[in-house]
């Protein structure tokens, strides 16, 4: 079966290696805004993977997972719920309950909460993935890089698009867009887009005889542009998303490669996430420069319910065989004992950015600005006694305790609740100076200050974890850092760019549950996890060749990283904790090339390599190990074939194949278990008639590679939490433009 899975790679490689007769086909010129100014991708002295509108359509990009899978040295780990996907860029990762490892911006507005990353992408114009610290311009969470997502702006003429699709879930999808001018003046324009997706799922729950992962997602976005005058414009965006799926169907095993276990939870679980995101960008453009003000508001609510460890039916739960289980049985009179769990998250934030940029056509260019964000956050995590009547939602009104009412259908065993009131601000600036026609020096500097207040909201009745919590107790901490970035760019020819760069990234610290520093006997875990600092040195080269038919880029980097995260679940206190590793180093490279082999055939190759090493650890036995959540390498190979055919009055036949290999991946600082390399193949084939209509057939994970997308260390050796990856999916989609 492994030979069959590697066949598409051999075919693509043979296509790349075969002698061809070059026609006058050139690659699409890509313009990026990585440095908050428009410039050619070939001229930008940053390691960037850019996806234009045509590439997004060609690759069938519909979620962040899709474009991350096509980006060398980047991975996205899916786990227990939609809001807990771990983005990893160059080894710099987030962990459960942490901030993002990269700044994510939609239409220039910073995403305030990592739970929003996993969302449907529709009506998108361009996506850019910047690798390496970008804190000087993008802020405190750009420690691993930055992702910018630009939605399609309203146009000067009325236009629309409708897409319908079906897959083997079975699942169904409808997407649509309409937009254009309002009135005759052309100064006011709108674009309204929507997406609905519903599938029964792909992963079997053998115990319940149903799918473990059904999904229904409803999302919509309105964008309005108003050109008030020749120098003043307003850009308003309002987004809404409602996701309903299931969660917490882990498999428990010792090894990351173990895919032999079925999902057998007796509670199907629930994952409901709703968010509203809005922004208003005002821009004044004058002869001396451009003043931009961006105001944003985000509100996110996510509910999670489901089974608890060891994620087996009640009659097979290990609680039936220990003293705790016997004690609970004596209270409830039940034959079996098991636990369920709930988690509720509520985050509301306001942010404001103001920046001033000098004209782009001057030899000396600069940007200065300020940024502030205020965030209110509430989170609760608790356990209920699973008496066979399901799991009951818990938001801010807790259920009766088992010690008060053991006859309740699902009494509350314990709960941990916290509120946070956070305020962060920053000042930043960037200067670019053309030393000559071929040499440019740029320098950026940003100061970030993050102040956080954590309030314990667990009533004494529900504190059964032994942490000694005090209701209403407040903890206050602040973290701050200067983030410099210096880049020297040299362009010896019009087709070649060389650069050298130093940059620093910063991610704020945060709070574990009060008391875990004493109650959890794990080195590196305390009541507080500290700030992170990443210092990166990078050199790179970019070039166009064969008269625009090919391009290539190479980046080499070294990162010294303070306080990398690792995740720890402690069953004794029922707490989810982040621990820190004092010092880790990462070194590696990215190499990418795209070649128009013929007028019809384009091939690409991307390689990312990361060598990580724990230099200093709270547990000395971890020193010399690989850092957690780091994949040793990623390999991307693919080709797109587009050929006119004499059908339907003239159309294009489109064939595309994408192969991805993710190298060995370690999950914990002790390197207890690693996942072997995995091979994934995506295929697309169809017909398109010049922005009139298209019919596409697609397959993801086409050869049904079985693997676990995450391993989370369990409470004891041999009891790791494994999250199953999606199997092969296939479907068809029809799109009509008008």
Please write the tens of the pLDDT for every residue from 134-192.
988 888 789 999 999 999 999 999 999 999 999 999 999 999 999 999 988 889 999 99
Amino acid 2: pLDDT: 38
Residue 421 has pLDDT above 80, yes or no: yes
Residue 17 has pLDDT above 50, yes or no: no
How many CB atoms within 10 Å of residue 204? 17
Given a contact cutoff of 8 angstroms between Cβ atoms, the answer to whether 468 and 515 are in contact is yes
CATH number of residue 551's parent domain: 2.40.170.20
User: If you average pLDDT over residues 62-73, what whole number do you get?
Assistant: 96
Residue range(s) defining the domain that contains residue 561: 2-737
Amino acid 735: pLDDT: 97
**Which pLDDT band, with edges at 50, 70 and 90, does 512 fall under?**
confident
Please write the tens of the pLDDT for every residue from 392-407.
999 998 999 998 899 9
Q: Global pTM?
A: 0.92
Q: Which two tokens stand for residue 297?
A: 């508001």
Amino acid 321: pLDDT: 84
Q: Which residue is listed with tokens 């057998």?
A: 264
Given a contact cutoff of 8 angstroms between Cβ atoms, the answer to whether 83 and 345 are in contact is yes
Please write the tens of the pLDDT for every residue from 608-652.
999 999 999 999 999 999 999 899 999 999 999 999 998 888 899
How many CB atoms within 10 Å of residue 468? 11
How far apart (Å, rounded) are the C-alpha atoms in residues 372 and 351?
Answer: 6
Total tally of structural domains belonging to the chain: 1
Residue 702 has pLDDT above 90, yes or no: yes
Given a contact cutoff of 8 angstroms between Cβ atoms, the answer to whether 47 and 553 are in contact is yes
Query: Within 13 Å and on the Cβ side, how many CA atoms surround 593?
Result: 15
How far apart (Å, rounded) are the C-alpha atoms in residues 450 and 371?
Answer: 12
User: If you average pLDDT over residues 366-382, what whole number do you get?
Assistant: 94
SS (H, E, C) 475-516: EEEEEEEEEEEEEEEEEEECCEEEEEEEEEEEECCEECCCCH
Greater pLDDT, 571 or 672: 672
How far apart (Å, rounded) are the C-alpha atoms in residues 442 and 36?
Answer: 13
For residue 646, give every residue at least 6 positions away whose Cβ sits within 8 Å of its Cβ, in sequence order, or none. none
How many CB atoms within 10 Å of residue 260? 9
Residue 4 has pLDDT above 80, yes or no: no
**Which pLDDT band, with edges at 50, 70 and 90, does 14 fall under?**
very low
Burial track 71-107 (b if 16+ CB lie within 10 A, e otherwise): bbbbbbbbbbbbbbbbbbbbbbbbbbbbbbbbbbbbb
**Which pLDDT band, with edges at 50, 70 and 90, does 6 fall under?**
very low
| Mean pLDDT, rounded, of the chain | 91
Greater pLDDT, 543 or 2: 543
User: If you average pLDDT over residues 84-111, what whole number do you get?
Assistant: 87
Amino acid 322: pLDDT: 81
Cα torsion 411, 412, 413, 415 to 10°: value is 170
Residue 114 has pLDDT above 80, yes or no: yes
- Sign of CA pseudo-dihedral 42, 48, 52, 56: positive
Residue among 564, 655, 641, 499 nearest 16 (CA): 641
Please write the tens of the pLDDT for every residue from 341-367.
999 999 999 999 999 999 988 999 999
At 141, which helix (H) or strand (E)? Answer: none
Given a contact cutoff of 8 angstroms between Cβ atoms, the answer to whether 92 and 561 are in contact is yes
Q: Which two tokens stand for residue 51?
A: 């996806």
Residue among 527, 508, 532 nearest 575 (CA): 527
User: If you average pLDDT over residues 589-618, what whole number do you get?
Assistant: 96
For residue 499, give every residue at least 6 positions away whose Cβ sits within 8 Å of its Cβ, in sequence order, or none. 45, 487, 488, 489, 490, 538, 539, 540, 541
How many CB atoms within 10 Å of residue 460? 9
Please write the tens of the pLDDT for every residue from 468-490.
889 999 999 999 999 999 999 99
How far apart (Å, rounded) are the C-alpha atoms in residues 336 and 388?
Answer: 9
Amino acid 572: pLDDT: 67
How far apart (Å, rounded) are the C-alpha atoms in residues 43 and 31?
Answer: 9
Residue 115 has pLDDT above 90, yes or no: no
What backbone phi and psi angles, to 5 degrees, belong to 581?
-110, 115
User: If you average pLDDT over residues 698-708, what whole number do you get?
Assistant: 97
Given a contact cutoff of 8 angstroms between Cβ atoms, the answer to whether 101 and 88 are in contact is yes
Q: Which two tokens stand for residue 246?
A: 């299931």
**Which pLDDT band, with edges at 50, 70 and 90, does 504 fall under?**
very high
Q: Out of 196-200, 220-224, 374-378, 570-574, which region has the weakest mean confidence (pLDDT)?
A: 570-574
How many CB atoms within 10 Å of residue 56? 20
User: If you average pLDDT over residues 240-257, what whole number do you get?
Assistant: 95
How far apart (Å, rounded) are the C-alpha atoms in residues 120 and 242?
Answer: 10
- Provide DSSP, 253-313: ES-TT---PPB--SS--EEEEEEEEEEEEEEEEETTEEEEEEEEEEEEEEEEEEE-TT-S-
Residue 391 has pLDDT above 50, yes or no: yes
């Amino acid at each position: 079966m492994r030979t069959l899975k590697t066949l598409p790679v051999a075919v693509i490689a043979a296509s790349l290696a075969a002698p061809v007769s070059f026609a006058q086909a050139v690659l699409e010129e890509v313009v990026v805004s990585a440095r908050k100014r428009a410039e050619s991708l070939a001229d930008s002295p940053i390691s960037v993977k850019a996806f234009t509108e045509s590439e997004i359509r060609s690759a069938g990009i519909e979620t962040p997972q899709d474009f991350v899978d096509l980006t060398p040295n980047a991975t996205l780990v899916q786990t227990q719920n939609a809001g807990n996907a771990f983005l990893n860029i160059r080894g710099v990762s987030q962990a459960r309950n942490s901030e993002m490892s990269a700044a994510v911006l939609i239409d220039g507005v910073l995403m305030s909460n990592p739970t929003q990353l996993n969302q449907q992408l529709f009506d998108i114009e361009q996506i850019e993935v910047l690798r390496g610290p970008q804190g000087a311009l993008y802020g405190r969470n750009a420690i691993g890089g930055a992702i910018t997502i630009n939605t399609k702006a309203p146009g000067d003429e009325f236009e629309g698009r409708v897409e319908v699709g079906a897959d083997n879930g079975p699942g169904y999808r409808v997407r649509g867009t309409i937009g254009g001018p309002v009135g005759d003046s052309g100064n006011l324009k709108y674009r309204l887009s929507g997406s609905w997706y519903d599938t029964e799922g792909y992963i079997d729950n053998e115990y319940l005889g149903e799918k473990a992962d059904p999904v229904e997602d409803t999302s919509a976005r309105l964008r309005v542009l108003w050109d008030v005058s020749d120098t003043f414009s307003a850009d308003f965006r309002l987004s809404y998303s409602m996701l309903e799926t299931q969660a917490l169907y882990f498999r428990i095993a010792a090894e990351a490669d173990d895919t032999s276990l079925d999902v057998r939870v007796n509670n199907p679980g629930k994952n409901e996430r709703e968010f509203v995101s809005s922004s208003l960008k005002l821009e004044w453009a004058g002869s001396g420069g451009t003043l931009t003000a961006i105001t944003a508001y985000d509100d996110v609510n996510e509910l999670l319910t489901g089974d608890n460890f060891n994620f087996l039916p009640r009659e097979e739960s290990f609680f039936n065989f220990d003293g705790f289980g016997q004690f609970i049985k004596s209270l409830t009179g039940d034959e079996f004992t098991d636990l369920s769990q709930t988690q509720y998250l509520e985050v509301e934030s306001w942010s404001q950015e103001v920046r001033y940029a000098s004209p782009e056509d001057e030899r000396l260019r600069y940007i200065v600005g300020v940024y502030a964000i205020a965030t209110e956050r509430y989170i609760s995590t608790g356990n209920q006694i699973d008496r066979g009547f399901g799991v009951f939602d818990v938001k801010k009104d807790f259920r009766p305790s088992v010690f008060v009412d053991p006859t309740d259908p699902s009494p509350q065993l314990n709960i941990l609740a916290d509120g946070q009131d956070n305020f962060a601000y920053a000042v930043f600036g960037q200067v670019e100076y053309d030393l000559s026609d071929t040499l440019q020096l740029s320098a950026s500097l940003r100061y970030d200050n993050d102040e956080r207040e954590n309030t314990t909201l667990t009533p004494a009745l529900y504190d059964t974890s032994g942490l000694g919590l005090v209701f209403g107790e407040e903890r206050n901490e602040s973290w701050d850092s200067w983030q410099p970035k210096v880049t020297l760019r040299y362009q010896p020819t019009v087709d070649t760019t060389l650069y050298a760069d130093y940059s620093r990234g910063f991610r704020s610290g945060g709070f574990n549950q009060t008391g875990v520093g004493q109650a959890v006997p794990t080195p590196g875990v305390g009541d507080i996890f500290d700030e992170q600092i990443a210092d990166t040195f990078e050199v790179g080269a970019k070039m166009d060749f064969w008269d625009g038919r090919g391009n290539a880029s190479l980046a080499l980097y070294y990162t010294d990283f303070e306080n990398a995260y690792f995740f720890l679940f402690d069953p004794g206190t029922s707490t989810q904790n982040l621990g820190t590793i004092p010092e880790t180093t990462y070194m590696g490279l990215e190499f990418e090339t795209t070649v128009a082999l013929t007028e019809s055939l384009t091939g690409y190759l991307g390689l990312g390599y990361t060598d990580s090493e724990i230099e200093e650890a709270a547990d000395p036995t971890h020193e010399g190990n690989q850092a957690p959540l780091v994949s040793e390498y990623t390999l991307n190979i693919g080709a797109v074939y587009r050929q006119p055919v004499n059908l339907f009055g003239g159309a294009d036949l489109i064939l595309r194949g994408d192969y991805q290999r993710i190298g060995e991946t370690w999950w914990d600082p002790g390197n207890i278990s690693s996942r072997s390399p995995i091979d994934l193949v995506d295929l697309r084939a169809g017909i398109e008639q010049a922005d009139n209509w298209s019919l596409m057939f697609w397959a993801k994970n086409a050869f049904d590679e079985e693997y676990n997308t995450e391993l989370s260390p369990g409470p004891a050796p041999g009891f790791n939490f494994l999250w199953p990856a999606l199997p092969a999916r296939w479907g068809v989609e029809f799109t009509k433009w008008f």
